[in-house]
Amino acid sequence: MTAERYCEHPWWKSAAIYEIALISFQDSNGDGKGDLAGLISRIDYLKWLGIGAVWLTPIYKSPFRDLGYDISDYCSIDPAFGSLDEFDRLLEALHAEGIRLILDLVPNHTAIDHAWFVESSSSPNSAKADWYIWADAAESGGPPSNWLSRFGGSGWEWCEARRQYYYHSFLVEQPDLNWRNPEVQKAMADVMRFWLDRGVDGFRVDASAVLIKDELLRDNPPNPQAKGKPPPQRQTPVFTDDRKETMNCIEFIREVIDSYPDRLLCGEVQGKTDRIGHFYGDGRPRLHLPLNFALLDAQWQALSLQAAIDAYLNAIPDKAWPVWLIGGHDKQRIASKIGTAQMRVLAMLLMTLPGTPFLYMGDEIGRKRVPIAPDRVRDPFERLVPGYGLCRDPERAPMRWDDSESGGFTTGGPWLPLERGEAPNVAEQQRDDRSLLALFRALIGLRREHACLREGGYAPLRSRDDVLAFKRVAGATEMLVALNTTSEPRKWHWRGRGRVLMSTHLDRPREPLPDAAILLRGNEGVIAFISDDNFGTPNL
């Protein structure tokens, strides 16, 4: 990869993008749920941190059976969150601070309460009869195919009024729309335009890989690796996931986005790293950023991380812009997996790899999974498929702004509990200029300041002795990133001259790097200039 590889510079290539589950960010009215007014009151924080764009999980009208991913009206704000006027105020206030806003677009399914489904399910002769995926019973009288719901049980649900089944990839209350129907495509384009006209800067497309299912409704084969997996994973979903025709839908969505200047389309894609490349598009563009969780899934070990990074960069097309996530509303907190001290090294990795960094609210303070007692569980997946340790509530717990009982999140009873005892919080870390939060802020600032980190080429080095290492290169500027992934000191052997730009410990600025060996403390990473106008060409 050369420095020339990245030549265009839309805003989303330089922004650090911050995912917010609105219900858990900041409550303004004491009902225990975060809302738009609460978010407006925290824009100062986002600005201080250096966030370039916010991605909001669904804020639309919803019965909230699945964190708002069950929408009953795409063109409204759920009253628990506020109003369209407040939304406009939020957008204006974010834009005034130079922060972009992207919304979650959920094109695959609605809630059963949506007017489209109410009409579609009323009769096989209704005007919207083909807006969802309807099929007759099998000859046996049972479901039309063996397809499973991701949330347990059959994916088919009987509807007495139509004497047919409808298909739902997720909850029974989340019927899948029929994306083969041009009227559905048009309706979704109208939804997008509604928000784009208001000024939103793009969308994260939910479940983008499942928009089209096999037209013949062929049965999915068993999953040979099903042992120990939850029931929904006992099939290999070849006839329901990642169908070729799905790409046409994504291309269609992209065309709508591209009819507006300067907007971003990112999306949730399923499957392994080796499938991620085709979500970028080949000829006709698809997603700008198919979201990549390789860092989250990799083992915390230099060689494994290097392999995961390499596999991903190899899997995306030559001109594709990479993207890295370290958390999300569906993903177990990475701080719980790798540990608090290692979060500093991860922060440096995230902000120095080529591509757009995403973080999920709370990652910047090293938030861990919050224990949720069984009687407080809200995640429908956990209720329907319990016992596999896959509950998503521990990462959806309210943000901890301070050390008070409700964390500064609400004056009422929080919708999900916060952890007891000592837990990282924003106020404390803002006071400490060596905190993880301070480090994230400094790294975001450094990335903003140095074009080499944002746009420079990426050159892997041989990681060894537990040190993950690579270079970023832009013209005469070369930066070395060396990350000790263990808690013990390590030496990184090299030949050259350099100067430390930043250590994860935030304490050795401008320190010269000795030739032959750089000593890294446990869980320390450094970014160093190894060649710039002052240094000439290094010898690595």
Q: How far is CA 109 from CA 23, 116, 152, 184, 264, in A?
A: 21, 11, 17, 11, 22
Query: Does 268 participate in catalysis according to the annotation?
Result: yes
Query: Does 92 participate in catalysis according to the annotation?
Result: no
Residue in 66, 206, 363, 382 annotated catalytic: 206
Residue 206 or 241: the one with the smaller Cβ distance to ligand GLC is: 206
User: Candidates 66-74, 294-302, 517-525, 528-536 — which segment interacts with ligand GLC by CB under 6 A?
Assistant: 66-74
Residue in 66, 201, 242, 268 annotated catalytic: 268
Among residue numbers 101 through 160, which ones bind ligand GLC (CB under 6 A)? none
Q: Kindly state whether residue 19 participates in binding ligand GLC, applying the rule CB under 6 A.
A: no
**Candidate residues 35, 78, 176, 206; the one interacting with ligand GLC per rule CB under 6 A:** 206
8 A C-beta contact, residue 495 and residue 480:
no
- Residue 108 CB, nearest approach to ligand GLC (Å): 7
Residue 209 or 453: the one with the smaller Cβ distance to ligand GLC is: 209
- For residue 373, what are its two tokens? 């007692």
- Element (DSSP H or E) covering residue 338: helix 334-338
Q: How far is CA 503 from CA 154, 366, 433, 521, 538, in A?
A: 52, 18, 13, 10, 20
Backbone angles phi, psi at 374, to 5 degrees: -50, -35
Per-residue x/- track, 291-330, ligand GLC (CB under 6 A): --------------------------------------xx
- For residue 11, what are its two tokens? 């805003």
- Residue 170 CB, nearest approach to ligand GLC (Å): 4
User: Candidates 65-73, 229-237, 257-265, 310-318 — which segment interacts with ligand GLC by CB under 6 A?
Assistant: 65-73
User: Candidates 62-70, 80-88, 122-130, 306-314 — which segment interacts with ligand GLC by CB under 6 A?
Assistant: 62-70
- Residue 97 CB, nearest approach to ligand GLC (Å): 27
Q: Kindly state whether residue 69 participates in binding ligand GLC, applying the rule CB under 6 A.
A: yes
Residue 206 or 242: the one with the smaller Cβ distance to ligand GLC is: 206
Total of residues contacting ligand GLC (CB under 6 A): 10
CA dihedral angle for residue 443, residue 444, residue 448, residue 450, rounded to 10 degrees: 20
* β-strands 356-360, 323-325 pairing: parallel
User: Candidates 63-71, 78-86, 89-97, 362-370 — which segment interacts with ligand GLC by CB under 6 A?
Assistant: 63-71
Residue 270 or 340: the one with the smaller Cβ distance to ligand GLC is: 270
Q: Kindly state whether residue 56 participates in binding ligand GLC, applying the rule CB under 6 A.
A: no
What is d(CA 319, CA 276) in angstroms, rounded to the nearest whole number? 14
* β-strands 457-460, 467-474 pairing: antiparallel
Residue 21 or 528: the one with the smaller Cβ distance to ligand GLC is: 21
Q: What is the DSSP string of 465-528?
A: TTEEEEEEEETTEEEEEEEE-SSS-EEEEE-S-EEEEEETTS--TTPEEPSEEEEE-TT-EEEE
Among residue numbers 259 through 288, which ones bind ligand GLC (CB under 6 A)? 268
Please report where in the chains the tokens 């939910």 appear, as a residue: 206
User: Which residue number is nearest to ligand GLC in terms of Cβ?
Assistant: 69
Residue 65 or 286: the one with the smaller Cβ distance to ligand GLC is: 65
Q: Kindly state whether residue 478 participates in binding ligand GLC, applying the rule CB under 6 A.
A: no
Residue 67 or 480: the one with the smaller Cβ distance to ligand GLC is: 67
CA dihedral angle for residue 49, residue 52, residue 57, residue 58, rounded to 10 degrees: 130
**Candidate residues 64, 132, 166, 170; the one interacting with ligand GLC per rule CB under 6 A:** 170
3-state SS string over 37-79? HHHHHCHHHHHHHCCCEEEECCCCECCCCCCCCCCCECCCCCC
Beta-ladder partners of 469: 482
Residues that bind ligand GLC (CB under 6 A): 66-67, 69, 170, 174, 206-207, 268, 329-330
Positions annotated as catalytic residues are 206, 268
